[in-house]
Structure 1
Amino acid sequence: MSKEQLFIFDTTLRDGAQTQGVDFSVDDKLKIASALDNLGVDYIEGGWPGANPTDTEFFQKKHSFNNAKLTSFGMTKRTGRSADNDPGLSALLNSNTPAVCIVGKSWDFHVDIALGISNEENLENIKETAKHFVKENKEFMFDAEHFFDGYKANPSYALSCLKSAFDEGARWIVLCDTNGGTLPHEVTKIVTEVSKTIPGKNLGIHAHNDTGNAVANSLAAVWAGVRQVQGTINGLGERCGNANLMSLIPTFFLKEDFATNFQLKIKPDNIKKLTECSRLLDEILNRKPNKHLPYVGAAAFSHKGGLHVSAVQKNPKTYEHIDPVEVGNSRNIVVSDQSGKSNIISRLKTIGIEIEESDPKIKKLLDEVKDREFIGYSYDGADASFELLARRIISKIPRYILIKEYDVSVKKDSSGTIVSSAKAQLEVDGEKIMCTGEGNGPVNALDNAIRQNVDRLNKYSKYLKDLKLVDYKVRILNTGTEAITRVSIESTDSKGKNWFTIGVSANIIDASFKALVDSLDYKLFKDKAPASL
């Protein structure tokens, strides 16, 4: 049986750019577009030329894609203007993209309230806009804004909007759940009805996630007949986001019912790029990845309970719906106070420590983890600190920098500026080194005291120059005058490695210092720095 073709339309650079707190630069857009083209999507919606300087400049660049069609976005012509004389449509033509996606109203309520024109005028605007771009040999797509709400309110008029574009040669009619309030069973019913008027091979779906159903609605729409799916990397988008292509693409590839009936232009080997693509977006946005994302999240294939880990070791299918390698992700065995021997052994194997199950050091490590977590440590989110602990108990770990003492102060000067200063006495190969530094806070000052004097650390200087703290979190574990503080630090280096360390103490500075020292030790150990004498 021949498979039907599905087309993937990415709108990260346009609809995703409407996310609160997101502001892409032209270079950001170029990087994301390149990653999407390498992944193999069919369409990349680059933005709205003429709407803002960034989008306008992006379309002025020379683009050479191997797989995707660059698509420009705009709206139907304005009432009272001809398509030939509409400045917005002219900007789209001048963008020189092979495909154009035009949004227009398909809900009579919006035609009346938002546009303030008659239903007939709206139909004429859609018709003339479609005719204009088809005449210019553009692959024309009509985004039927608010279609599902419009269909529920006035199905006859909503369908008339679709036909106004389709009858003039539109390649794609995209059904938009703009408010994100439609549910999967409604999508199935409505798409099935629409398919009687517009062929499924010409229908697309654009779902928003306001009920948490954008992915489900997209899957339901495909099953009911649509053949183009729009979405964004990581579900980026205004309000609650758009349909997440990082969930949809692997579902189409790896789930039997879809894989049996449909095919994508994306090459099977490229599915392994999904996790990399997901994290590239977060890196560009300078934000922490959502570890709980399906398929590509760091926790998507994490196992914590001892019984789960034991079963996964026997056969991963017991608690994993796919092999994480298929999407470029990896399995993660979490160590915590809920851990059993299976967790410990499995985690040790992943960090390269082979040990017999009967070795008493395993029980010693397990007891140590549970004792430490009882007083506030949490190793399920601090893999680097766990590895250091394990190696100190099971094997030997080299001595690196000894920190003999430190002093931190915070003061407010006469101008009202708060300044944090730190001193730290380090010891390398028996030599004592006094380091000083200032920062935005006591921890930043302590970090700067060590790393701003990195050239004085002799053989370790070259290993620590690219160390960077990217996240710092504090949690008060109990209240009162003897509160316990837990500090977690995320670090990175120029190789793109990220690691997490933890410290616990009744004093926030001491807890921070412990996490910071673990970060330094882990960096030196992983880079195979020579041990102290």
Structure 2
Amino acid sequence: MVKKSIEILDTTLRDGAQAASISFTLREKIRIALLLDDLGVDYIEAGWPGSNPKDYEFFREIKNYSLKNSKIAAFASTRKKDVRPEKDQNLLSILESDVNSAVLFGKSWTLHVKEVLKTTLEDNLMIIADSIEFLKDHGLEVIFDAEHFYQGFKEDPDYALKVVNVAGEAGAKVVALADTNGGTLPHEVMEITKYVAERTRVKLGVHMHNDSGTAVANSLVGVVSGATHVQGTINGIGERTGNADLIQIIPNLAIKMGYKVLKENESLKKLRTVSSVVYELAGLHPNPFQPYVGENAFAHKAGVHADAVMKNTKAYEHIDPTLIGNQRKVIISELSGTSNLINYLEKIGIKIEKKEEKLKRALSIIKELEARGYSFDLAPESALLIVLKELGLYEKFFDLKYWKVINEDKLALAVIKVNSRVEVAEGAGPINAADLALRRCLVKDFPELEKVKLTDYRVILPGEVKNTESVVRVTIEFNDGDRTWRTEGVSTSVIEASVMALTDGFDYYLQLNKKLKPLFLKD
């Protein structure tokens, strides 16, 4: 059976860029467009050339690149009510952008026609037809976005349907039904879209906003009800609460619903990368709980969950995370069971029976430390050091005898004594000074530590713990060029917590590099 195809139009560069606090540079817009082309979306709605110089420049610049999969579309409104198409600057700007595809939006809600456009219902139909025909006569394919369609349908279904048919008769390739204020719920989308699909021959699309938190669901229901074209943005960025998130829609259509989307299923594996890059360029932190691609989308924290997933991944995972470029993560925390620890141990080559008493003892220590302010789901390698010690697999390579950090009058100085060696270092700040001094103590015996870099440093204030003083939690991320690990320290002093995290970070690296070999432990 041949899979039914669903067209994807990405409007990250237009509707997504209308989100508060987001402003893509020209270079960033080009980079995103190339990513979307590689992903395989059918259309890239790249901007409104008549609205600002940057969008106009984008359409000139993108001509220097050979896109393999996507069509670049320019966006604009239908002509003004008292202006002929050949004189309308919005329509002319589309022609000047030299694209082959255009997205026009027009009114389908009588409230907008009468109170915003200040014109008659018949005149609005003529505006829509004239605008589409003008672009068609100049060789462009036209996608018409029926703005506020679902709101308009509720008020006057006959007129809203007439708008769809007029646009189709004028030559629109697709008429996208837009839930512009995001107020329509899935059951309404299903009823209305199905009603329209049964009464028109026009190819239908859907364009959903997320004001009611149902943009993704509305898009999927729209497809079930007859739409074969879906519009949205990467990560759902957009006006107000955002648009429908294509990062969620695409795998749902392809994996769950059996539709042909993008160029091939291999494209799905690129979704996490595309999501991450758009977050970065938008200046936003990735949502760790985002379905499919979030860092925690396939994370298992509860002991019962971890145990079940290790036996059969289907127990708590709705798909294989590698299908969309993600991976499984088992977390160590106060909610963990021994299965969580076993998962981490296996990754470093240690096999051990679940009933091992030493493992249970390590888990008890981890839970007690979490009660004191640690959070090992953020820094599992600090927990693994505890496990290695309890299992008798830990070798003490160095002993931090003394440390002191001075931070005053723009001077950051650290004095560190490790074993019998004392080193002093001045740094850009107290943590940098401590890092430099500790390294100087260690690299003479362990030169491989030269490769280790600090890639992230975070301070969290978990607050009062067990009726004691307030503490701070410091998490540090390390990388040696091949792997990444995180360790942490907890103290009433941010500097002491930082020194603890630094020490654990170097210690963990030495444990893996110097002595740990694949071991097989049994009861």
The TM-score with structure 1 as length reference comes to 0.87
Give the superposition deviation at 1:19: 1.6
The 1-side partners of 2:81 and 2:422 are apart by 78
Quote the Cα distance in structure 2 between the aligned partners of 1:349 and 1:263: 38
- 1:472, CA displacement in angstroms? 3.8
Distance 1:177 1:335, change over 3 A: same
Indicate conservation of the 8 Å contact 1:149/1:177, yes or no.
Answer: yes
In 2: Cα distance, 1:453 partner to 1:59 partner: 53
In structure 2, the residue corresponding to 1:449 is in which secondary structure? helix
Amino acid in structure 1 at the alignment position of 2:189: V
Q: Check the 8 A contact 1:341/1:362 in 2, yes or no.
A: yes
Distance 2:460 2:79 in 1: 50
2:344 to 342, 347, 352: 347
Q: 1:304, 1:334 within 8 Å by CA — same for their partners in 2?
A: yes
Aligned residue in 2 for 1:166: 168
**Cross-structure match for 2:451:** 463
Q: Is 1:485–1:505's contact at 8 Å kept on the other side of the alignment?
A: yes
Corresponding residue of 1:446: 430
Aligned position for 1:405: 403
Instruction: Give 1:519 shift.
Output: 4.8
Corresponding position of 1:422? 412
Q: Give the unaligned 5+ runs of structure 2.
A: 517-523
The answer as to 2:70 corresponding to 1:86 is no
Encode CA deviations 1:228-279: one digit per residue, 9 max, x unaligned.
0111111111221111111111111211xx21xx322431122111122222
- Residues 147, 176 of structure 1: 8 Å contact kept: yes
* One-letter amino acid of the counterpart of residue 294, structure 1: P
Q: How many residues align?
A: 509
Q: Which amino acid aligns with 2:460?
A: K
Query: Match of 1:74?
Result: 76
Change (3 A) 1:369 1:69: same
Given the alignment, which residue of 427, 434, 438 partners 2:424? 434
Other-structure match for 1:361? 358
Q: Deviations over 1:498-521 (max 9, x none)?
A: 654332112333234433444555
Aligned partners of 2:6 and 2:230 also within 8 Å: yes
Once the 2 structures are TM-superposed, how far is the Cα of residue 489 of structure 1 from its aligned partner?
A: 3.1
What letter corresponds to residue 467 of structure 1 in structure 2?
L
| Aligned-residue offset at 1:140 | 0.4
Contact 1:377 1:486 in 2 (8 A): no
Map of 2:330 onto structure 1: 333
Once residues 10 and 485 of structure 1 are traced to their aligned partners in structure 2, the CA distance between those partners, rounded to angstroms, is 46
Go from structure 1 to structure 2 and tell me whether the alpha carbon gap of 1:437 and 1:236 turns closer, same or farther (over 3 Å shift). Answer: same
Report the AA paired with residue 343 of structure 2: S
How big is the shift at 1:285?
Answer: 3.1
Quote the offset at 1:356 in angstroms.
Answer: 3.5
Q: 1:522 to 1:57 in 2, by over 3 A?
A: farther
Show CA shifts across 1:112-171 (max 9, x none).
333333333322221111011111111201111111001111112222222232111100
Amino acid at match of 2:358: K
Partner of 2:462: 475
In the TM superposition, residue 195 of structure 1 has moved relative to its aligned partner by 1.1
Residue 519 of structure 2 corresponds to which residue in structure 1?
Answer: none
Residues 495 and 8 of structure 1: CA distance in aligned 2, closer, same or farther (over 3 Å): farther
- Relative to structure 1, the CA distance from residue 491 to residue 53 in structure 2 (aligned partners, 3 Å threshold; closer, same or farther) is farther
Cα separation, 1, equivalents of 2:177 and 2:398? 61
- Give the distance between the partners of 1:32 and 1:517, measured in 2 at CA: 40
Q: Indicate the RMSD between aligned Cα atoms, in angstroms.
A: 2.9
1:407–1:422 CA contact under 8 A, matched in 2: yes
Q: What secondary structure does 1:354 align onto? A: strand
Q: In the superposition, relative to structure 1, how do residues 301 and 106 fare at CA in structure 2: closer, same or farther (>3 Å)?
A: same
Distance 1:510 1:361 in 2: 29
Provide, for residues 384-413 of structure 1, a one-character-per-residue CA deviation record: whole Å limited to 9, x for no partner: 4334444454433674795831324467xx
AA in 2 matched with 1:87: Q
Q: Is the 8 A contact 1:488 1:502 kept in 2?
A: yes
Which of 95, 114, 117 is the matching residue for 1:115?
117
Residue 5 of structure 2 corresponds to residue 15 of structure 1? no
Aligned partner of residue 166 in structure 1, secondary structure: helix
Q: SS state of the match for residue 263, structure 1?
A: coil
Alpha-carbon distance change, 471 to 177 in structure 1, aligned in 2, over 3 angstroms? farther
Q: 1:52 to 1:501 in 2, by over 3 A?
A: farther
* 1:301 counterpart = 2:287: no
The percent of aligned pairs where both chains have the same amino acid is 38
State whether structure 2 residue 191 is matched by structure 1 residue 189.
yes
Contact residue 463 and residue 523 of structure 1 kept, 8 A: no
**1: distance between equivalents of 2:157 and 2:461?**
54
**Correspondences of 1:54-73 after superposition (within 5 Å):** 54-61=54-61, 62-73=64-75
Amino acid at match of 1:5: S
- Structure 1 residue 484, shift from structure 2 partner: 3.0
Q: d(CA) in 2 for partners of 1:175 and 1:349?
A: 51
Alpha-carbon spacing, 1:118–1:329, altered in 2? closer, same or farther (3 Å): same
Partner residue in 2 for 1:508: 494
Q: Deviations over 1:402-458 (max 9, x none)?
A: 5831324467xxxxxxx6x532124578543312234xxxxxx22332567899667
Shift of 1:79: 2.0
**Matched AA of 2:267:** N
Decide whether the 8 Å contact of 2:50 with 2:76 is kept in 1. Answer: no
From the superposition, tell whether residues 64 and 470 of structure 1 become closer, same or farther in structure 2 (CA, over 3 Å).
Answer: farther
Opposite residue 436 of structure 1, the aligned amino acid is E
User: Partners in 1 of 2:74 and 2:397 — Cα distance?
Assistant: 58
Q: Any idea what SS the aligned residue of 1:129 has?
A: helix
> Unmatched 5+ residue regions in structure 1?
412-418, 439-444
Counterpart Cα distance in 1 of 2:222 and 2:427: 59
Q: Evaluate the alpha carbon distance shift between residue 371 and residue 264 of structure 1 in structure 2; reply closer, same or farther with a 3 A threshold.
A: same
Residue identity in the other structure for 1:316: T
**What residue is the counterpart of 1:396 in the other structure?**
394
Cα distance per residue 1:5-42 (max 9 Å; x no partner): 11111111111111222111122222222221111111
Q: Displacement of 1:467 after TM fit?
A: 3.1
Cα distance in 2 for residues equivalent to 1:58 and 1:160: 35
Q: Deviations over 1:183-217 (max 9, x none)?
A: 111001101111133336x1100111111111110
The answer for the alignment partner of 2:252 in structure 1 is 251
SS, match of residue 295 in structure 1: coil
- Determine whether 1:291 maps to 2:288: yes
Counting only pairs closer than 5 Å after superposition, residues 84-163 of structure 1 correspond to structure 2 as: 84-163=86-165
| Partners of 1:342 and 1:157 in 2: CA distance | 61
Note if 1:26 corresponds to 2:26.
Answer: yes
Q: Structure 1 residues 314-323 or 352-361, which shifts more?
A: 352-361
Q: In 2, distance between residues paired with 1:222 and 1:136?
A: 31
Q: Is it true that 1:385 corresponds to 2:375 in the alignment?
A: no
Distance 1:21 1:199 in 2: 40
